[in-house]
């Protein structure tokens, strides 16, 4: 081959032993071309590197120095602080969103203040807000007949299988969407002796307003007997029109002797199997027409000279509860008072304990529901001496004609505060809308509620006038004679006189 090619071919060994080298030698050898043997030995290196990376990710506290531990600790503390700050920012944003509908005291009187957070107040707020009046609603967060109604509201159009609190929450959200603001407070007094009107809040103090819509409703009167409060929503009610259908084909009891009790008994007799009226006297105080209808109705039984002492309830029976009761009957300790004291099982009406006021006899009457119909009490005490009240219905605000206007211009009544006949959520909402329309018309006719806009317009006019004056002076240019004393032609005249 040497004779043929005149040159010895270069050869390379396939397997070369790799001796141990120093760091400097390793660096120099890494730059050289690897051999086949070296390639074969370098193939598993990526896996070794990967395994070393996984090992490095795991904390080796026993191998770290004190400085490294302190640095790692400081790093983690910084991360925790960043997370806390971020969480506080999120909470602050959420609180700002929640408080977007909270009232903030301004420099001008409110256009309209709505007192009450029921259907009448919420309907007024929606209509007033959509009219651009930015209404302020003063009402406690919890309260009202519909707010405390635990069963479903079934007689409000478009709202099926909604509880009372859910209905109010939806109305409140809708009003806030259009710009209504809310203040959780009680109104103690209204001063209508001067303008603007003054509303006194329990915690907010004095708030001035050009118009007021009173929608505080009327509370049902209760007996205050054992079981009455505990079984509300479980068979105890004060509205036969609202809840009577829930007890179709069952035995119900009505307490009272006035027109409200007569109306409730007649309404319940249409759907119930039997209606028992309980009255503490031997005659009704209701109108003769209604009383005669009740007396002659075949499904209504009257028990005279009788009062309700107690309402008894029983746990709601379900297949699961029945099976559990059978299994746990032998294990129940009847002497364990704590077990019964913390019993939170839902109950329904099972019986009414009655007492004869003449003989004193105590008897128990099995029934499925008890309707307390002893009247209503309008929440209008803070209006004493301010507006006129209905002569035939004490406590109810007297309105003018078919409107919601009261005896004081700028004050309107909506809902159960002026309705002693219907007292329904839907009729209250209708009167609330009418009150907002009446208030809007009053403000427009009197030219009230535009103070802020008028002040802004006046400031703009003054600013525009100042800018015009400044531009006129700049067009005239600089006059040295004005700076010297204001004599524009005085120099020439003096020169003429001397000559």
Judged against a pLDDT cut of 90, whether residue 466 lies above it is answered with: no
Identity of the highest mean pLDDT range in 11-20, 236-245, 319-328, 389-398: 389-398
Query: Among 26-40, 177-191, 375-389, where is mean pLDDT lowest?
Result: 26-40
CA distance 214 to 380: 9
Would the CATH topology of 108-219+377-446 be identical to that of 236-318+345-374? yes
CA distance 360 to 306: 9
**Residues 229-234: contacts with CB under 8 Å, at least 24 apart:** 230/313, 230/347, 231/311, 231/313, 231/347, 231/348, 231/349, 231/370, 232/148, 232/150, 233/149, 233/150, 233/151, 234/313, 234/316, 234/346, 234/347, 234/348, 234/349
pLDDT reported for residue 387: 97
Judged against a pLDDT cut of 90, whether residue 452 lies above it is answered with: no
Domain made up of 108-219+377-446: CATH architecture: 3-Layer(bba) Sandwich (3.50)
- pLDDT (tens digit, 9 = 90+) per residue, 233-275? 899 999 898 889 999 999 999 999 998 899 899 999 999 999 9
pLDDT reported for residue 256: 95
pLDDT reported for residue 60: 66
pLDDT reported for residue 159: 84
User: For residue 449, what is the enclosing H or E element?
Assistant: none
pLDDT over 70, % of the chain: 73
- pLDDT (tens digit, 9 = 90+) per residue, 99-151? 668 888 888 999 999 999 999 999 999 999 999 999 999 998 776 777 766 56
- 364: which 2 tokens? 């128990």
Choosing from 243, 259, 416, 438, the catalytic residue is 243
pLDDT reported for residue 361: 96
Entry pTM: 0.63
pLDDT reported for residue 135: 96
Q: Report residue 115 CA to chain centroid gap.
A: 16
CA distance 180 to 4: 106
Three-state secondary-structure class, residue 218: strand
How far from each other are the two terminal CA atoms of the chain, in whole angstroms?
A: 133
Kindly give, in sequence order, each residue whose CB lies less than 8 Å from that of residue 139, ignoring residues fewer than 6 positions away. 115, 116, 117, 118, 121, 182, 184, 185
Q: Report residue 155 CA to chain centroid gap.
A: 22
- 274: which 2 tokens? 């039997």
Mean pLDDT of 445-470: 84
Judged against a pLDDT cut of 50, whether residue 169 lies above it is answered with: yes
Judged against a pLDDT cut of 90, whether residue 10 lies above it is answered with: no
Examine the residue annotation and report whether 242 is marked as an active-site residue of this protein.
yes
pLDDT reported for residue 85: 78
Identity of the highest mean pLDDT range in 35-49, 154-168, 259-273: 259-273
pLDDT reported for residue 136: 96
Where residue 341 falls among pLDDT bands split at 50, 70, 90?
very low
pLDDT reported for residue 298: 95
Mean pLDDT of 335-349: 61
Judged against a pLDDT cut of 90, whether residue 48 lies above it is answered with: no
Q: Which of 116, 112, 113 is nearest to 217 (CA)?
A: 116
Judged against a pLDDT cut of 90, whether residue 65 lies above it is answered with: no
- Which residues make beta-bridge pairs with 389? 397
Q: Are 210 and 410 in contact (CB under 8 A)?
A: yes
pLDDT over 90, % of the chain: 50
Choosing from 78, 83, 98, 242, the catalytic residue is 242
More confident residue, 39 or 348: 348
Examine the residue annotation and report whether 243 is marked as an active-site residue of this protein.
yes
236-318+345-374: CATH topology: FAD/NAD(P)-binding domain (3.50.50)
Examine the residue annotation and report whether 367 is marked as an active-site residue of this protein.
no
Domain ranges of the chain: 108-219+377-446, 236-318+345-374
Where residue 338 falls among pLDDT bands split at 50, 70, 90?
very low
Where residue 478 falls among pLDDT bands split at 50, 70, 90?
low
Where residue 330 falls among pLDDT bands split at 50, 70, 90?
very low
Query: Among 252-256, 283-287, 445-449, 463-467, where is mean pLDDT lowest?
Result: 463-467
Choosing from 185, 239, 416, 419, the catalytic residue is 239
Query: Among 6-10, 82-86, 120-124, 248-252, where is mean pLDDT lowest?
Result: 6-10
Supply the mean pLDDT for the chain: 82
């Amino acid at each position: 081959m040497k004779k043929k090619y005149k040159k010895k071919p270069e050869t390379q060994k396939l397997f070369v032993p790799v001796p141990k080298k120093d760091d400097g030698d390793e660096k120099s050898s890494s730059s050289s071309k690897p051999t086949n043997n070296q390639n074969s030995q370098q193939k598993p290196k990526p896996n070794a590197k990967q395994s070393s990376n996984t090992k490095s990710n795991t904390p080796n506290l026993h191998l770290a120095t004190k400085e490294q531990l302190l640095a790692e600790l400081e790093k983690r503390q910084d991360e925790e602080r960043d997370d806390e700050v971020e969480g506080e920012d999120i909470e602050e944003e959420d609180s700002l969103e929640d408080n977007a509908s909270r009232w903030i005291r301004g420099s001008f009187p409110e256009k309209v203040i709505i007192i009450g957070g029921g259907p009448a107040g919420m309907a007024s707020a929606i209509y007033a807000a959509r009219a651009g009046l930015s209404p302020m609603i003063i009402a406690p967060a919890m309260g009202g007949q519909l707010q405390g109604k635990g069963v479903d509201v079934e007689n409000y159009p478009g709202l099926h299988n909604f509880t009372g609190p859910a209905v109010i929450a939806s109305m409140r959200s809708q009003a806030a969407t259009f710009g209504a603001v809310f203040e959780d407070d009680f109104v103690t007094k209204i001063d209508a002796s001067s303008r603007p009107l003054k509303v006194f809040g329990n915690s907010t103090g004095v708030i001035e307003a050009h118009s007021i819509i009173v929608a505080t409703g009327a509370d049902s009167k209760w007996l205050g007997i054992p079981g009455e409060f505990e079984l509300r929503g479980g068979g105890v009610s004060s509205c036969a029109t609202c809840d009577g259908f829930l007890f179709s084909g069952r035995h119900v009891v009505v307490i009272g002797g006035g027109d409200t009790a007569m109306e409730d008994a007649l309404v319940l007799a249409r759907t119930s199997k039997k209606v028992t009226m309980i009255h503490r006297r031997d005659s009704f105080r209701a109108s003769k027409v209604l009383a005669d209808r009740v007396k002659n109705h075949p499904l209504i039984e009257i028990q005279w000279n009788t009062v309700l002492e107690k309402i008894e309830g029983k746990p709601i029976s379900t297949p699961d509860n029945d099976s559990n009761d059978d299994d746990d009957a032998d294990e129940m300790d009847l002497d364990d008072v704590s077990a019964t004291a913390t019993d939170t099982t839902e109950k329904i009406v099972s019986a009414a304990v009655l007492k004869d006021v003449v003989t004193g006899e105590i008897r128990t009457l099995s029934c499925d529901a008890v309707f307390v119909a002893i009247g209503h009490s309008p929440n209008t005490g803070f209006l004493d001496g301010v507006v006129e009240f209905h002569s035939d219905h004490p406590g109810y605000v007297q309105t003018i004609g078919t409107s919601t206007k009261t005896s004081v211009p700028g004050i309107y009544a909506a809902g159960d505060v002026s309705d002693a006949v219907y007292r329904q959520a839907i009729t209250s909402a209708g009167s609330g809308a009418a009150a907002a329309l009446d208030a809007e018309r009053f403000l427009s006719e009197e030219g009230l509620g535009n103070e802020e806009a008028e002040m802004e317009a006046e400031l703009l006019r003054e600013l525009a006038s100042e800018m015009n004056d400044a531009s006129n002076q700049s067009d005239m240019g600089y006059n040295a004679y004005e700076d010297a004393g204001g004599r524009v032609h005085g120099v020439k005249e003096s020169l003429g006189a001397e000559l």
